[in-house]
Amino acid sequence: MLVAPSANHVYAEQAPTMAVAELAVTTTVENPERTAMAGVEYVGFGADALDPAAIARQSSALALFERAGELLRPVQLPAVQVMDDDLLTITKYAGKTNEMFTRLLLHVTCAQVRTAGPERPVLPGGVRQLDVLDPMAGRGTTLQAAWLMGHNGFGVETDERAVEQLAAFMKTYLRRKRLRHKADAAPVRREGRVIGRRFEVTAHPGVATGGHDALEGAPALTMSVLTGDTRDSARLFGRRRFDAIVTDAPYGIVHGARSARGNREGRGDRSPAALLAQAIPVWAGQLRAGGALGIAWNAFGLTRDDLAAICADAGLEVCPGPAWEQFSHRVDSSIRRDLIVARKPAR
Ligand SMILES: C[S@@+](CC[C@H](N)C(=O)[O-])C[C@H]1O[C@@H](n2cnc3c(N)ncnc32)[C@H](O)[C@@H]1O
């Protein structure tokens, strides 16, 4: 597998190592490892019966080749995306989680999902459509990455302005792409009281319009984002449950966990570690049995062992094994980003 050069912009020289780890935790290929040929770096692996769609879903896959003696023969990667890349790449803003890293976090988390339940549409490439929640959604990078791969995206975000900006972008984008869609914003009420605002949009990439060719096999996509505190996520979403929860937690540096209510109501301090300790049990309750939680966080503020203990206390099983410890990478002098994935036991 040839790794996309753009991965190097995110992970510097670590991109192939992270591509190896992603393959290891999301596929059944044998012995993935970094390898160089004629001065170009690849990720090599063995596979008896390869599913090219499993490679196409890798966040950094650029191309796939089969070894034929001394030569490399190109292998077609099937189309697995149901939306264009630009859904994820057009917007640029301070605090945006890198798009490629978001795709990686989403992929390694969704690959752990073993939920049963109502029949869900099968996506191009053969996996099922999932309901993905980002409970600290910002301006929606995870939700857009979910749409790209055919999943539904749900979000909670404390910054109302961020939700407004996401709503404005999605409406303009879907209009410009001439995709059939329906968007709506409304107050959220519980027991007669307004507790936040909701932005909701459904799009139909599988339906042809004057300016859009129907994408065969693409299901309808839903995105629903509520304003509020992530620790209230269960109250905000009520009985709804999710297959995967995927979030990039505040780093405690530039984008600290500043909740206006946090201190006033004595609901915790400003550190991301304290916020995660309070939020993870709430999120665990919102997962379906067999669902998975994936969190990216700044390892300078909270150790992997401490975060794993918080997940375990919430009844989740942290994915074990050396490959899971290969995702940690430097973002800048104050951020060492890592990711952890934990599963809710299947019933
Ligand atoms: C690292 S950013 C995530 C950015 C997002 N992935 C994006 O690309 O737009 C963390 C987000 O968590 C939000 N946040 C922090 N504390 C929160 C809380 N208590 N409840 C809900 N959201 C919170 C911040 O406003 C910020 O948007």
Write the pLDDT tens digit of every residue in 22-36. Answer: 999 999 999 999 999
CA of residue 242 to ligand 1 center, whole Å: 19
User: What pLDDT, in 10s, does the model give residues 264-274?
Assistant: 333 445 689 99
User: What pLDDT, in 10s, does the model give residues 196-251?
Assistant: 899 999 999 999 998 899 998 899 999 999 999 999 999 999 999 999 999 999 99
Using alpha carbons only, how large is the chain's radius of gyration in Å? 20
Q: Where are the alpha helices (DSSP H) in the chain?
A: 6-11, 15-26, 52-56, 86-89, 99-110, 141-148, 160-176, 233-237, 260-264, 272-286, 304-313
Q: How many CB atoms lie within 10 A of CB 176?
A: 11
Per the structure block, which two tokens stand in for 53? 């769609």
| Sheet of 61-68, strands arranged across | 2-3, 61-68, 71-75
Residue nearest to atom 2 of ligand 1 (CA): 250
| Residue numbers in the chain where pLDDT is lower than 70 | 253-270
Measured CA to CA, the distance from residue 41 to residue 2 in angstroms comes to: 7
Atom of ligand 1 minimally distant from the CA of 156: 21
Residues whose beta carbon lies within 6 Å of some atom of ligand 1: 95-97, 136, 138-139, 141-142, 156-159, 162, 229-230, 248, 250, 255, 257, 259, 275
Classify burial at 34, counting beta carbons within 10 Å of its beta carbon; exposed 0-12, middle 13-18, buried 19 or more.
Answer: middle
Atom of ligand 1 minimally distant from the CA of 102: 6
CA of residue 214 to ligand 1 center, whole Å: 34
Atom of ligand 1 minimally distant from the CA of 140: 9
pLDDT for residue 13: 85
pLDDT for residue 253: 67
Under a CB-based contact definition with an 8 Å cutoff, are residues 88 and 106 in contact?
no
pLDDT for residue 261: 40
Domain boundaries, the chain: 2-75, 86-343
CATH fold of 86-343 reads Rossmann fold (3.40.50)
pLDDT for residue 255: 45
Measured CA to CA, the distance from residue 301 to residue 308 in angstroms comes to: 14
Measured CA to CA, the distance from residue 198 to residue 215 in angstroms comes to: 28
Determine the Cα angle at 256 with ends 89 and 98, to 5°: 20
